[in-house]
Amino acid sequence: MDELTHINQSGKATMVDVSEKQTTTRTAKAYGKVILGERVFRLVANNNVEKGDVLTTAKIAGISAAKKCSDLIPLCHNIFISKVDVELQLNEKDFSVEIFSFAKTTAQTGIEMEALTATSIAALTIYDMCKGVDKSLVIKDIHLLSKTGGKSGEYSYTGLEKEEE
Amino acid sequence: MDELTHINQSGKATMVDVSEKQTTTRTAKAYGKVILGERVFRLVANNNVEKGDVLTTAKIAGISAAKKCSDLIPLCHNIFISKVDVELQLNEKDFSVEIFSFAKTTAQTGIEMEALTATSIAALTIYDMCKGVDKSLVIKDIHLLSKTGGKSGEYSYTGLEKEEE
Amino acid sequence: MDELTHINQSGKATMVDVSEKQTTTRTAKAYGKVILGERVFRLVANNNVEKGDVLTTAKIAGISAAKKCSDLIPLCHNIFISKVDVELQLNEKDFSVEIFSFAKTTAQTGIEMEALTATSIAALTIYDMCKGVDKSLVIKDIHLLSKTGGKSGEYSYTGLEKEEE
Amino acid sequence: MDELTHINQSGKATMVDVSEKQTTTRTAKAYGKVILGERVFRLVANNNVEKGDVLTTAKIAGISAAKKCSDLIPLCHNIFISKVDVELQLNEKDFSVEIFSFAKTTAQTGIEMEALTATSIAALTIYDMCKGVDKSLVIKDIHLLSKTGGKSGEYSYTGLEKEEE
Amino acid sequence: MDELTHINQSGKATMVDVSEKQTTTRTAKAYGKVILGERVFRLVANNNVEKGDVLTTAKIAGISAAKKCSDLIPLCHNIFISKVDVELQLNEKDFSVEIFSFAKTTAQTGIEMEALTATSIAALTIYDMCKGVDKSLVIKDIHLLSKTGGKSGEYSYTGLEKEEE
Amino acid sequence: MDELTHINQSGKATMVDVSEKQTTTRTAKAYGKVILGERVFRLVANNNVEKGDVLTTAKIAGISAAKKCSDLIPLCHNIFISKVDVELQLNEKDFSVEIFSFAKTTAQTGIEMEALTATSIAALTIYDMCKGVDKSLVIKDIHLLSKTGGKSGEYSYTGLEKEEE
């Protein structure tokens, strides 16, 4: 498959017609992280220890955003979502918050964009709450971890071709 | 400033009260990139040479998303936006699309989140259009490049503290 | 069932996974009322006698809100809605507007929140239109009247346990 | 003032023209409660003791909903919001969650509807999370507690005229 | 002025930067009509005589849509709207519903698109309610009637240049 | 069929209950045009020759709007959309842009409103981008071209009854 599915013969944007595709259960997992730096990391970690609202606010933002996915991405379908989950984990090694999103549907097309949107908006929400302290936070490595279901079947991320060389 | 502005004394989420802040012109620039890998890069570059719709679709998605920012980020204010711009540049060195967003307002609070949201959604839109060819694209390095206006004044990104060491 | 379905083992918010549930026809009826006080009641009643727009505006707002339900309630699913109806009745006894909402779907999860959201937003719309005359209107007794369909089957409101004692 | 401001001479719905009104700081506080019943109350209280997500999820939903107010209420203006806050308190006396919302703006019209909408959607979110255990929860007594600013000046709720007699 | 203001030097879409424009009161009036055909016209006229909901539903849809204008039109600014009004008149001569919309703002840019969007969505709402009887309704002649305020000053529609020749 | 399907016996607005309808593949095509006048036509045509963004921006706006259809039209159902397409063609004869929209679904109700909404919003987007040069553009002749699927079967526009006489 060496053609962009969302572009027609004339190079114009086009929504894929999914009406002939199978209605099957499909899932997607996405990942991303926000590099906080040590100072912000400590504040967020303290808030988390005290079971404050930082991570929960980002989680709720991510879940809500998954449901707005087709309103944000022009050529994305408005599918029914069976489940979205967003988990945030503090990683002291690189002073980051790691974001793991999961989305599931029973539909004629996949749910990758919903999982990636949940991750992206959760990351932006972290940025928003921390920017008063440090504006240099960086959102990194947002990508699909895996997917199941649909004609193309299972997929697991193994790095972008030649990316790591 | 060593407290999270969006968290109150009890660790609970709180929107900042901006009613006493100055109404001034404020701008923000944000950056991000999508690593496409060589195969997808060629397809997108060809589409761009032929002045196809890939980059324009992502640009429009980014501009539209900036206007939805306060609907996506729970503690973000719904400010009037004077201008948003999103530029996408193909970078053959690392087979990426680089995304530069700019946002401007005359308001009581800044416009950083709008610029960052524009970048993030433009990036996701690129992912959406290319995922049929390769699902391993990675969205990287979303951060604020600079801001002007407001009490905290000018800011330019110089890397996250210790990030690069 | 003595656990909150929308909370996981760690007390964190979670959307219920409905992918294994049956796709069946489900309905829900919700109730609520707005206590207008006599003065406002007379104005609304006169408007209604003259077939003015007060009740229709609230009705349309309620129907529209049902379709936004999953955008408002973070852990609510974005289901297809077969039908929504909102009826408003003036009740001279307590100078109130009573609101009866009905929602129906063929889906893997129920439609209670859509009916309750329709009622709530219709009530707020009444408040909005009348607040210029009297700000002391009170929205009361929003609850589910009944539901059908789904694994938990039929439900009819018989009062909250011990509520009336 | 004995005419509905949102209804014109012919009884038709009309948005109030606020272009001649003063731009001043305006605030509003709203109240509402959800009667949970003892069983659900214990579950929510336990979740709260363990600093789980139930009340935070409702709080975030309320804040987000305030920003959607003009999209929900047909004749409501789309004003800039300086601040919204939603607080939820467990009240063991009547096994309820009490919801206190606050909204602030510098605008040509008041912010009552935003505070009331925040309260209503926070209440619906509580209902949503608890309905798996008990569907008979009741949302009660949503009303404006007070307002400041604007031509009509300060207002404090003292009960609806004759309501309690 | 012979350049498209929403297109930059390279032919790319661009939002106009309005930050240097004057904040003034601006108004716009827009017009459109829906040709119903005689059969549908009689049904709508009867409904109107009986003060039914057809025209009110379209009116509310139009007002609500004006507030969503910047979410619908990619390069349109999200301005505060002081007032929107939509009036629908039955015209027996050509069996049409004529739609007159009015919008007003105090902002740095005009309100033409809000008035035109109100008209367009009111027209579509009429279509929606009548399509069960006749699908051949036609929406016609949507245009700006007049505007006031802003640097370009007053404008009144006098027909498109050469349009009528 | 001589009754308005969206109006009940009392003349009140009502959403059609589609729960008993067949889930079938349904399509709709809609048409509309924007009369640009010669001056604007030349600018848009030049932009198109240079493969600028004017028509693509309108196309993306149209596709996005189709997905918001049920949020815009009060009595319209929120159906899953399998495909939307919007094509814009410059017509030098009357200095217009002609807009052809196509929408497809597998659902219990038809997709006419989505196609018509895509056309209408694409037309408004053209207006928005050109209004700086000439405010007298007119949007004309928005109507359904054809539909397939559903109980009422195929439909092709042949003009409104008596419209052309």
User: Which H helix or E strand runs over F32?
Assistant: strand F24-35
| Token pair in block for residue B131 | 């995922």
Q: Could you tell me how far CA C10 lies from the centroid of its own chain?
A: 31
**Minimum mean pLDDT among A52-66, D118-132, D151-165, E2-16: which range?**
D151-165
* Contact predicate A34/A126, CB 8 Å: yes
What is the band of A165 on the pLDDT scale with cuts at 50, 70, 90? very low
User: Does D164 or A125 have the greater pLDDT score?
Assistant: A125
C124 contacts on D by Cβ (under 8 Å): 72-73, 113, 116-117, 120
pLDDT at A163 (0 to 100)? 44
Mention every residue, 6+ apart, whose C-beta is less than 8 A from residue E148. Answer: E25, E26, E27, E28, E154
Q: Left if phi > 0, otherwise alpha if psi is -120 to 50, otherwise beta: which for D2?
A: alpha
Between helix D54-66 and helix A54-66 the angle, nearest 10°, is 60
Query: What's the ipTM?
Result: 0.95
Distances (CA, A) of E128 to C102, C130, E30, F15: 21, 30, 21, 11
Question: Across the interface, do C132 and D16 touch by the CB < 8 Å criterion?
Answer: yes
pLDDT at F160 (0 to 100)? 59
Q: Could you tell me how far CA E86 lies from the centroid of its own chain?
A: 9
Tell me the pairing of strands D155-156 and E24-35. unpaired
- Specify the length of chain F in residues: 165
Domain for residue B15, yes or no? no
Cβ-based contacts under 8 A for chains C and D = 235
Indicate whether F164 pLDDT > 70: no
Cβ-based contacts under 8 A for chains D and E = 42
- Please provide the average confidence, as pLDDT, over all residues in chain E: 93
Domain for residue F53, yes or no? yes
Measured CA to CA, the distance from residue A94 to residue A131 in angstroms comes to 18
Measured CA to CA, the distance from residue A55 to residue A130 in angstroms comes to 11
Q: Which residues of C touch A (CB under 8 A)?
A: 12-19, 70-71, 74-75, 77-80, 107-108
* Closest residue of chain C to D32, computed from CA coordinates: C139
* Contact predicate E108/E25, CB 8 Å: no
Kindly list the partner chains of chain F, i.e. chains with 3 or more CB atom pairs below 8 Å. Answer: A, B, C, E
pLDDT at C90 (0 to 100)? 97
D57 contacts on A by Cβ (under 8 Å): 56, 60
| Token pair in block for residue F105 | 């679904």
Domain for residue D152, yes or no? no
DSSP-derived 3-state class of residue A30: strand
Q: What is the pTM of this model?
A: 0.96
Measured CA to CA, the distance from residue B34 to residue B37 in angstroms comes to 9
The C-alpha angle with vertex D157 and arms to D155 and D158, in degrees rounded to 5, equals 120
Residue-wise pLDDT for C5-26, tens only, equals 899 988 999 999 999 999 999 9
State what percent of residues in chain D have pLDDT above 70. Answer: 95
pLDDT at A2 (0 to 100)? 66
Question: Across the interface, do E83 and D17 touch by the CB < 8 Å criterion?
Answer: yes
Q: What is the 3-state secondary structure (H, E, C) of A95-115?
A: CEEEEEEEEEEEECCCCHHHH
Mention every residue, 6+ apart, whose C-beta is less than 8 A from residue A129. Answer: A54, A57, A58, B4, B5, B6, B7, B13, B75
D60 contacts on A by Cβ (under 8 Å): 56-57, 60-61
User: Does A118 or E152 have the greater pLDDT score?
Assistant: A118
Task: For residue A47, report the phi and psi dihedrals to the nearest 5 degrees.
Answer: -60, -40
Indicate whether C162 pLDDT > 70: no
Question: Across the interface, do A107 and F56 touch by the CB < 8 Å criterion?
Answer: no
Measured CA to CA, the distance from residue C132 to residue F25 in angstroms comes to 49
What is the rounded end-to-end Cα distance, in angstroms, of chain B?
Answer: 24
Indicate whether E162 pLDDT > 70: no
Distances (CA, A) of D21 to E24, E106, E109: 14, 11, 19
Measured CA to CA, the distance from residue D76 to residue D114 in angstroms comes to 9
Domain for residue A7, yes or no? no
Pick among C46, C50, C54, C56 to test the E interface (most E CBs inside 10 A): C56
* Contact predicate C27/C81, CB 8 Å: no
DSSP string, chain E: --S-TTB-TTS-B-----TTS--EEEEEEEEEEEE-HHHHHHHHHHHHHTT-SHHHHHHHHHHHHHHTHHHHSTT------SEEEEEEEEETTTTEEEEEEEEEEEESS--HHHHHHHHHHHHHHHHHHHTTT-TT-EEEEEEEEEEE-STT--EE----TTTT-
Domain for residue A47, yes or no? yes
Q: Could you tell me how far CA C73 lies from the centroid of its own chain?
A: 13
Domain for residue E132, yes or no? yes
Indicate whether E33 pLDDT > 90: yes
What is the band of A3 on the pLDDT scale with cuts at 50, 70, 90? confident
In this prediction, residues A65-78 reach a mean pLDDT of 98
Distances (CA, A) of E109 to E17, E26, E149, F151: 10, 8, 9, 47
What is the rounded end-to-end Cα distance, in angstroms, of chain A?
Answer: 24
Active-site residue identified among F53, F71, F94, F128: F128
Closest CA to C160 of E96, D96, F126: D96
Domain for residue E156, yes or no? no
Q: Which domain holds residue F42?
A: 24-147
Task: For residue D160, report the phi and psi dihedrals to the nearest 5 degrees.
Answer: -70, 140
Measured CA to CA, the distance from residue C143 to residue D34 in angstroms comes to 10
| Token pair in block for residue C59 | 């009705």
What CATH number is attached to the domain comprising C127?
3.30.70.640
**Which residues of E are the active-site residues?**
128
Number of independent structural domains in chain B: 1
**Of D6, D54, D72, which has the smallest distance from its Cβ to C65's Cβ?**
D72
**Of E37, E128, E143, which has the smallest distance from its Cβ to F137's Cβ?**
E143
pLDDT at F165 (0 to 100)? 37
- Specify the length of chain B in residues: 165
Indicate whether A136 pLDDT > 70: yes
Distances (CA, A) of F123 to F35, F51, F114: 10, 19, 14
* Contact predicate F71/C67, CB 8 Å: yes
pLDDT at A153 (0 to 100)? 87
A15 contacts on F by Cβ (under 8 Å): 63, 83-85
Measured CA to CA, the distance from residue A115 to residue A79 in angstroms comes to 13
pLDDT at B165 (0 to 100)? 37
pLDDT at D2 (0 to 100)? 66
pLDDT at A160 (0 to 100)? 58
Task: For residue A6, report the phi and psi dihedrals to the nearest 5 degrees.
Answer: -100, 15
Domain for residue E15, yes or no? no
For residue F128, indicate whether it is catalytic: yes
pLDDT at C159 (0 to 100)? 81
| Token pair in block for residue E112 | 């033409």
Residue-wise pLDDT for D96-138, tens only, equals 999 999 999 999 999 999 999 999 999 999 999 999 999 999 9
Residue-wise pLDDT for E54-89, tens only, equals 999 999 999 999 999 999 999 999 999 999 999 999
Pick among A27, A48, A54, A64 to test the C interface (most C CBs inside 10 A): A64
**What distance in Å separates residue B35's CA from the closest CA in chain F?**
24
What is the band of C51 on the pLDDT scale with cuts at 50, 70, 90? confident
Question: Across the interface, do A13 and F60 touch by the CB < 8 Å criterion?
Answer: yes
Tell me the pairing of strands A155-156 and B24-35. unpaired
Pick among D8, D71, D78, D80 to test the E interface (most E CBs inside 10 A): D78
Closest CA to A55 of B12, B121, B8, D118: B12
The tens place of each residue's pLDDT in chain B, 165 residues long, gives 468 989 998 899 999 999 999 999 999 999 999 999 999 999 999 998 888 899 999 999 999 999 999 999 999 999 999 999 999 999 999 999 999 999 999 999 999 999 999 999 999 999 999 999 999 999 999 999 999 999 888 999 998 544 443
Q: Left if phi > 0, otherwise alpha if psi is -120 to 50, otherwise beta: which for E80?
A: beta
**Of D50, D51, D60, which has the smallest distance from its Cβ to A57's Cβ?**
D60
| Token pair in block for residue F14 | 């009502």
Q: Left if phi > 0, otherwise alpha if psi is -120 to 50, otherwise beta: which for F126?
A: alpha
